Structure 1
Amino acid sequence: MKIENQTVVGLTYELKVSKVEDEIESVPFSVEVRDEEDPFYFIFRQSGLPEKFEEYLTGKQEGDSFEFVLKVEEAYGEADDELLINLPKSQFTKERGFEDSMLQEGEFLPLMDENGYPMQAKVLKDFGDTLLLDFNHPLVGFDLHFEGKVLEVREATPEEMDHGHVHGEHGEDH
């Protein structure tokens, strides 16, 4: 079966990132590896991943290898200064599940948006009573280098399509 709309896709890959500054591109460095012990599964065209990522996988089938680069503009774009937000530190209490160690500069806070979906923010600066948080995607400003293999392609079940995520061994059980 080929990767197309309404299929569940299982991948292994290594993701490397690079950045261009002053017209000089950094050497790509590894930031994530999804191997056969921990493959990545998603519903094609419902993944929330960059459109170009899925475009490069279209038509591939189980056993196919892939290698491609998403340029910044095809991936998560450039950082948006409007997503840098100062919030009162009092919102991040132990009663709400936050430990002091989580509030350190450079840490990522696990949060929920107004609809209950998980999101994260990076702590940029601790100003004492407030924290400067960055709600940009962690991969903004980077070119993304993917190299991997298609492990599985199957038809998504009607229930998976309704829920918008993979069920079973490599997805959610509920």
Structure 2
Amino acid sequence: MKIQQNSVVGLTYELKVSKEEDGIESAPFSVEIRDEEDPFYFLFGMSGLPEKFEELLAGKEEGETFSFLLPMVDAYGEADDDLIITLPKEQFSGDRGFSPEMLEEGNFLPLMDENGYSMQAKVLKDLGDQLLLDFNHPLVGFDLHFEGNILEVREATKEELAHGHVHGEHGAHD
């Protein structure tokens, strides 16, 4: 089966990132590896991944390899200054499951929006009684280099399509 809309895709990959600054592209460095012990599964067309990522995988089959570059503009774009905000530190108390170590500069805080969706924010600066947080995607501003292998392609079940995510061994409901 070929990767197409509403198929479940399982793959392994190495993700490297690079960034252009002052007209010079940095050497790509590895930021994530998903291997056979921890493959990445998603519902094609409903993944929430950059559109170009899915576009470049479309039509591939189980057993095929892939290698492509997503330029920053096709990946997560440039940082949005409106997503850098200051919040009162009291919102991140122990009562709410946060430890003082979690609030250290450079850490990512696991959060939920008002609709219950997971999100994260990077702690940029501890301002005493407030925290300066960056809600931009961690890969914003980077070119993404993917190299990997298609492990599995199958038709999504009606339940998976209704819920918008993969179920079973590699999905939400193990």
The residue number in structure 1 matching 2:34 is 34
Shift of 1:172: 1.1
Residues 93-146 of structure 1 show CA distances to partners (whole Å, capped at 9, x for unaligned) of: 011000000000000000001110000000000000000000000000000000
The residue number in structure 2 matching 1:22 is 22
The residue number in structure 2 matching 1:86 is 86
Shift of 1:39: 0.1
Find the residue that maps to 1:109 and give its secondary structure. strand
The residue number in structure 2 matching 1:7 is 7
The residue number in structure 2 matching 1:170 is 170
Find the residue that maps to 2:82 and give its secondary structure. helix
* One-letter amino acid of the structure 1 residue matched with residue 88 of structure 2: P
State how 1:14-163 maps to structure 2 within 5 Å: 14-163=14-163
Shift of 1:173: 1.1
TM superposition score normalised by structure 1: 0.99
Distance of 1:115 and 1:125 partners within structure 2: 27
* One-letter amino acid of the structure 1 residue matched with residue 95 of structure 2: E
How many residues of Structure 1 are paired with residues of Structure 2 in the alignment?
174
Distance of 1:20 and 1:162 partners within structure 2: 40
* One-letter amino acid of the structure 2 residue matched with residue 145 of structure 1: H
Distance of 1:98 and 1:45 partners within structure 2: 34
- Structure 1: which 5+ residue stretches go unaligned? none
TM superposition score normalised by structure 2: 0.99
Q: Hey, which bits of structure 1, 4+ residues long, moved more than 4 A? A: none
Find the residue that maps to 2:102 and give its secondary structure. helix
Q: CA RMSD in A?
A: 0.6
* One-letter amino acid of the structure 1 residue matched with residue 10 of structure 2: G
- Structure 2: which 5+ residue stretches go unaligned? none
Distance of 2:172 and 2:15 partners within structure 1: 24
